[in-house]
Amino acid sequence: MTVLKKLEIDQRARGLIFDLDGTIADTMPIHYIAYRTILRKLGVEMTPGFFLTMAGMPAHMTIYKINEVFGTSLDPDLFGQMKEEEYERNMKLMKPIDPVVDLIREYHGKLPMAVGTGGYQRLAWKSLEILGLKDFFSVVVSSDDVQNHKPHPETFLKCAERMGVEPRFCQVFEDGRLGLEAAASAGMMVTDVTAYYEVTIGREF
């Protein structure tokens, strides 16, 4: 990962909301390799480009998309469990996304902060623990907590509600198209963090 410039908050912000994968934690390569490893056993080759189109989707929606594009008939529950087990085996390899983590450390205790992720609650907390950030957040809204996933704004609106901050005063930090759309739909300030770092999705560990 190459840091391009320092991340700043909007002067109007009274609460900060962060996506997790690809925003706080450099986990996208690990997710990609988990999907690719399992799909290759089925004779399906997933490219990094295709994987990035699904950034922000919860696992079951990703699997529906894979079935649609590749003509497979993967069971979302079974395949999702296999993928998460493969991912969890490699979680220890994740790295922080430095400009975002620097911002979290700078504003910890100064502004309310929350995580709004399309991932599972248990793995979200595990990611934060690996990065040494578990104590920096009291609010984590995951795919387990909402009925409507990104690009629907429910994830971020729940974050705002639990922080006690009006949506218009929340600044969302995101890397995925679906998350950026969700934050805009919620009426929040939006920052695309991909302008602040470079990462190679297809890299090996």
Catalytically annotated residues: 19
In sequence order, the 6+-apart residues with CB closer than 8 A to the CB of 167 are 156, 157, 160, 186, 187, 188
Across 61-86, b (16+ Cβ under 10 Å) vs e yields: bbbeebeeebeeebebeebbebbbeb
Residue at token pair 């399309």: 118
Neighbouring-strand partners of residue 129: none
Q: Which of 101, 98, 93, 117 is nearest to 176 (CA)?
A: 117
Question: H or E element: which one contains 2?
Answer: strand 2-3
The CA radius of gyration of the chain, in Å to the nearest whole number, is: 16
